[in-house]
Amino acid sequence: MLQGGSWFFSMAILIIPTCLANDLWQCICDGPGCTQDTCRGRKCFVTIENADGFTKQTKGCFSEHLMEQCKSTVQGTATTKCCDADMCNGNLTIHQAEPDPPAKKQLQLILIPLLVILLLLLLVTVYFCRARWHHRKRLLTRLHELGDTDMLKASIVGDSTLGDLLDDYCTTGSGSGLPFLVQRTVARQITLVECVGFIASDMTSRNSSTQLWLITHYHESGSLYEYLQRTTVDPEGCLWLALSIICGLVHLHVEIFGTQGKPAIAHRDLKSRNILVKKNKQCCIADLGLAVMHSQTSDYLDIGNNPRVGTKRYMAPEVLDETIRTDSFESYKQTDVWAFGLVLWEIARRTVINGMVEEYKPPFFDVVPSDPSFEDMKKVVCTDQQRPRIPNNWHSDTIVSALAKIMKECWYQSPSARLTALRIKKTLHKLNSPVNNFKEEC
């Protein structure tokens, strides 16, 4: 019995240490604290650390007191993974996401707010476009519902229908761009108050629309704008056209006293479309719809509510940036001189010099769109202070070279520095040319 009991006791002693030893695993160890190739611990681990663009792998074992580090999570730049088996960290792998490079992170920080801003702008644009579309739809519906009598009543009591339509649809000011419906609407709201010139007027109906007619002298060459597109001139013909225009402008600008007199007039919309070419190739100024009058006796000046009127392409700098002296009649005469310089440039461009001539182009054709906005013209004329280009070959002809000098003196940024219409007329008369016989008719 004693021997049997001793055998049992000795077996128990051998078994217990073996079980305690199995709680510690033998692991591969290659870290800084390793003294041998292996170590024993409660857990085997593998750690991957990213630092300064390099990846470092460490293997070892954890004791009981370091068990909280044995997690398959990212802590800063290190990732740790553990296992329970002898030498299990030899083949243990960690799938770690590549960290974003600094440049990529910076790009993300820039792009995300930018995309949010673009999205907001898109939403705002869509909102305003829909609002504008609904506004126009309401206006058109209202026009269809109103009859002739109602429309006339609306204009009498000051309804804003006409003004709204013109604000929505007007472009260059020539009237040619208005939709057919709007032209009908305008005609229905016009009443002839007083005949101030021309030959006659009439009202007719065509295709269910009302048309108001103004009958004037017929000039078969049409406007100067149309004439220059199909016709070239020689230097003498260029001077003839220029002199006839400036004579008309002087006549407008000067007040004539007496029973057959007239007040001084500033045109405010001088351009090649508003100048007619007669059969004898003289020009006459037309379309005084935006003109203002001034008399020294009454010193009265009526310009309406908006001083920034006319055709944007021909507007002077002080009109575009709204620095014009609205209480001074001289200011409006100076804007006419600016526009005359541009018309003179249009004529000179179609003048044959040494067998060379350029195709017709409107002023500033190379720097603004075909229908420029106020901001387009303001940037070119006021901010950049650009002017139409003067070709070098213009200086090879005495007449055209003199006209180029006049143009530049019409385009001074300061209105007071520009030539007067009367000074331009006198300068053109002094040119040594057969056209000088025209002065008796001017």
Main-chain phi, psi angles of 83, to 5 degrees: -150, 165
Instruction: Output the CA angle 406-409-413, nearest 5 degrees.
Output: 150
185 against 297, higher pLDDT: 297
Q: At what angle do helices 398-410 and 235-253 cross, to 10 degrees?
A: 30
Q: Domain 20-90 carries which CATH code?
A: 2.10.60.10
**Yes or no: domain 224-440 corresponds to CATH 1.10.510.10:** yes
Main-chain phi, psi angles of 283, to 5 degrees: -110, 150
pLDDT in tens, 373-424: 999 999 999 999 999 999 999 999 999 999 999 999 999 999 999 999 999 9
pLDDT at 438: 53
- What residue spans define the domains of the chain? 20-90, 126-215, 224-440
Mean pLDDT of 39-46: 88
Question: What are the b/e assignments for 348-387, b being 16+ CB within 10 Å?
Answer: bbbbbbeeeeeebebbbeebbeeebeeebbbbbbbeeeeb
pLDDT band at 308 (very low <50, low <70, confident <90, very high): low
CB-CB contact of 314 with 275 (8 Å): no
139 against 256, higher pLDDT: 256
Q: Is the model's pLDDT at 15 over the cut of 60?
A: no
pLDDT at 13: 45
Q: Is the model's pLDDT at 294 over the cut of 60?
A: yes
Distance CA 309, CA 302 (A): 13
pLDDT in tens, 67-80: 667 765 555 577 88
pLDDT in tens, 198-227: 766 677 777 777 777 767 777 888 999 999
Distance CA 367, CA 365 (A): 6
Q: Please give the positions annotated as active site.
A: 269
pLDDT at 144: 55
pLDDT band at 179 (very low <50, low <70, confident <90, very high): very low
Q: Is the model's pLDDT at 4 over the cut of 60?
A: no
| Pick from 168-177, 230-239, 331-340: least confident | 168-177
Distance CA 269, CA 100 (A): 63
Main-chain phi, psi angles of 272, to 5 degrees: -65, -25
Mean pLDDT of 253-259: 89
Pairing of strands 54-62, 209-215: unpaired
**What SS3 state is found at 158?**
coil
Distance CA 119, CA 123 (A): 6
